């Protein structure tokens, strides 16, 4: 197992040490098996629930850990250092749990949050559609009022946890004339309701133990209390948690970056060519230096964004900067790790190869790199 990076750690604390122990004892021993089988590791999530590692930055009165966004950033990086798929689940619970905490009624919170934070209830965050990814204003899933509640019709694609979720937070159009300006609403949809169909399970390049698939809603009858938050307020509510979500994915990416640095450094110091460790060759040493720079710079950007959110300050541009830099750094660092390991880095079952596959999606989900640059440039030019 690679050694932990010795890069400066400005947020070292008991939480980080606890998560590192959990990763070493519970996650790393099964990573290869999870990547090979694509199994959903329910037992790991239940263990995380017992440790309070689900709902990190959600108030204790709602069942969360009551931590800060900085704590959330810390936990996501450490979990991803073990395996990005596990961190991905933690991030999903944080997003859905945040929406329920902020907008849910007492009855909705009581119904969903205890199991969610215990790791026994599985959620999905159903936004993306065949014709609407980066542009959420283009979604077509429709919810129409009925005498008893709502009727939901539509399709969602590329949805994390769709194959296993017990319920989904679904964004739907409730007023086609207003759409994202007051015409979209959030709904809590139990996946065992008549008309809910799990359409398929995708075969992914990486993060294979984090299942992704489609959800189809065929005239699903929902009770009135399935509405989460105010009618028409769904688009703004989703945007409200996106900044924390982007820091979460950026931190996940940075865990991959650090794992890539450590496995590359271990190989470079033990692999000998021409009578000396390859780390003594300047070409390799400089590559390791660049990996350390990328990891540390990303961490500082992520911590800055987290500090802004914790203070309640404007953080949109800062969170986008952190997400785009950290995700692209993860792709660079995992690619460098493969290069340093040479042919061995291209073999299935070698950590560098898995990290390379796991890293690529971080530039796409929770807002593509192009969307992040659009947000940043708009803030600069406003």
Catalytic residues: 366
Task: Name, in order, each residue with C-beta under 8 angstroms of 263's C-beta and a sequence gap of 6 or more.
Answer: 2, 337, 341, 351, 352, 355
């Amino acid at each position: 197992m690679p050694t932990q990076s010795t890069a400066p750690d400005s947020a070292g604390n008991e939480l980080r040490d606890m998560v590192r122990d959990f990763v070493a004892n519970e996650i790393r021993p099964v990573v290869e098996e999870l990547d090979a089988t694509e199994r959903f590791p329910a037992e790991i999530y239940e263990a995380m629930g017992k440790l309070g590692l689900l709902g990190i930055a959600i108030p204790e009165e709602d069942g969360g850990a009551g931590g800060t966004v900085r704590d959330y950033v810390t936990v996501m990086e450490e979990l991803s250092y073990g395996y990005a798929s596990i961190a991905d689940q933690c991030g999903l619970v944080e997003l859905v749990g945040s929406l329920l905490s902020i907008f849910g009624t007492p009855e909705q919170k009581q119904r969903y949050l205890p199991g969610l934070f215990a790791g026994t209830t599985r959620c999905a965050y159903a936004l993306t559609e065949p014709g609407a990814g980066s542009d959420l204003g283009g979604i077509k899933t429709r919810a129409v009022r009925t005498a008893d509640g709502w009727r939901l019709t539509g399709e969602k694609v590329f949805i994390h946890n769709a194959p296993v979720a017990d319920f989904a937070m679904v964004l739907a159009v409730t007023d086609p004339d207003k759409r994202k300006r007051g015409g979209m609403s959030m709904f809590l949809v139990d996946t065992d309701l008549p008309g809910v169909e799990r359409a398929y399970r995708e075969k992914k390049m990486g993060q294979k133990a984090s299942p992704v698939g489609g959800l189809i809603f065929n005239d699903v009858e929902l009770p009135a209390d399935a509405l989460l938050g105010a009618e028409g307020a769904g688009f703004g509510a989703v945007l409200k948690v996106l900044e924390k979500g982007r820091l979460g994915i950026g931190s996940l990416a940075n865990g991959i970056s650090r794992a890539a640095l450590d496995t590359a450094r271990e190989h470079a110091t033990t692999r000998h060519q021409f009578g000396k460790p390859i780390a003594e060759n300047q070409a390799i040493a400089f590559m390791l230096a660049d990996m350390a720079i990328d990891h540390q710079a990303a961490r500082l950007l992520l911590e800055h964004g987290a500090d802004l959110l914790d203070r309640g300050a404007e953080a949109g541009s800062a969170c986008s900067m952190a997400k785009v830099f950290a995700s692209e750094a993860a792709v660079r660092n995992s690619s460098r790790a493969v290069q340093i390991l040479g042919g061995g880095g291209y073999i299935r079952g070698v950590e560098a190869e898995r990290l390379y596959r796991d890293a690529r999606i971080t530039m796409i989900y929770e807002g593509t790199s192009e969307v992040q640059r659009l947000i940043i440039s708009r803030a600069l030019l406003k």
